[in-house]
Each structure stands twice: as structure tokens, then as C-alpha cells.
Structure 1
């Protein structure tokens, strides 16, 4: 495999790690913390809205939840893989910036996008957790990328 392909694979693998960490945080916390962000609810609403607009039957809530988690993992993995565009030594800065941008977007854009604000803005703690967890996902992706690049 050439260097370019290796770099792409490292970036994608790093994105998968970041997305996995973020999803694990969301899914674990929602069972234990009353004010936990609910990215799964946002995903379910987005899928339901899309299916309704194209006049397709909406699956059960359980199946919709699975679709939302899958969509979150794929989209966040691709997003966090952008850490691979960072110059060497700047992976952590890039991961932090990616996470911060995603977290702020998850808090500030859900209302205007018609997905509601409660899943990420129910309380100040909910908003803070949302932003923090996306940053943690970005840092996980950055850390993984830095380690993979050293191999």
C-alpha cells in the first residue's frame, strides 16, 4: 500500500475510534444521567422527518434507534477522519477544533434544522456535556491518528 493510501486508512481508522468513543459516551450516559444529551433522539427525528417527506413508512422506534446509531457512527467517523488533514504535530489541535465545531453545531443548529432543542439544550449541563463529548471524540480521533502515524 502506498503512503497516500496508508494515510487515508489511518485517518479513517482514527475517525472510527473517535466516533466510537463519542457514541459510547452518549449511549452509556443516557442510561445513568437524567440531563444527558440525546444524539440518538436527534438522529431518529432526522430519519423520521426524511422518511415522512419522501412518503416512506417509518420503522419502529427500536429499529429507528438502530438506524440513528449507525448513521451517527458513519457520519461522525467520516467527520473525525478529517483529523488526517492536519499537519504533523497538530493532530490534537485539529481534533479539538473538530470536536468543538461539532459540539457547538449540535447545540446551536438542532433547533433551526427542525430537530428540536431539548436533546442537546435541555439544561446548561446538557449543552456542556454535548460540547464536551464531541471534543472528547475529536481528541480520541486525534490521539489515535498520532499513534497510527508513528507506526
Structure 2
């Protein structure tokens, strides 16, 4: 149970870090990745496909941010599965895979990839930010586990 809790808390730490970086940098750099726009499009299209009225404006932003935090926390929490020895390597691999997925899966899913692929800088930052999220998750899990074993 302690392992599961540390995985979830670690995944949340990585997801929050990813979103803090994203929200901060996009305010200052117009070439920053806009994964939030991809998420808003996905939420809107998904709700419309179910004949639901999607939120708009700030409500759409908040709903997308909440969904992003939850989905990334759950995804990043898988970093804690497997041997402790490979925790940082898994963090890097799972984070990089998420970033590459953001670049390559948007268009096949029927979403615009422009917010994450418009420039080479945007592409590199997209992968780098998810990589950082994965590494923060791995370090948080490692720290939580070492604290719980030392009690």
C-alpha cells in the first residue's frame, strides 16, 4: 500500500511540475508548446461526440487542466512499478515517451498537432517538459520510499 501511495504522490508531483512549467513558459514565450490547446480540443470533441455541450472560456481551461493533472498523474505513477534500481531510467523513458506521444499521436487522434509541432523549438520543449515531469516523478517516488523506510 505504501508503494502505491508513493507512486500516486510521485505521479502527482510530476504532473504538477509539468503543468507549472507549461503555464509559466507559455506566458512569456509565444513559441512554447500549447498542450493545453490540444487538451481543450480533445475535451470539446469528446463531449460533442457524446452529444454533450462542452464548457467554454475559463471553464474549458479549468476542466482541461484538471483532466490533464489527473491523467498525467496516473500515467507518471507507473514509473514506480518495477525494480527500484531502474526508477530514474523509467522516469526518463516514460517522460520522453509521453512527450513523443504528444508530438506524434495528436494528428492520428483527429486533433491539431500545430500547438506542439509548429517549430523545432516547440517540439524539443514538448518532449523536454514531459521528460522533466517523468524525472520529477521518479525522484519524488525515490524520496518518499526512502523516508517511509527510515521511519
- When normalised by structure 2's length, the TM-score is 0.95
Unmatched tracts of structure 1, length 5 or more? none
Match status 1:56 vs 2:52: yes
Q: Distance in 1 between matches of 2:114 and 2:5?
A: 36
Q: Distance in 2 between matches of 1:43 and 1:108?
A: 15
Moved over 4 A (4+): none
Unmatched tracts of structure 2, length 5 or more? none
Q: Kindly indicate whether the alpha-carbon contact (under 8 Å) linking 2:38 and 2:113 is maintained by their aligned counterparts in 1.
A: no
1:98 maps to which of 85, 94, 101:
94
Alignment of 1:1-151 (within 5 A): 5-151=1-147
Q: CA RMSD in A?
A: 0.8
Number of residues paired by the alignment?
147
- When normalised by structure 1's length, the TM-score is 0.95
Deviations 1:42-86 (Å, cap 9, x if unpaired)?
A: 110011001111111122221111111000000000000011103
Deviations 1:4-34 (Å, cap 9, x if unpaired)?
A: x000000000000000000101111110111
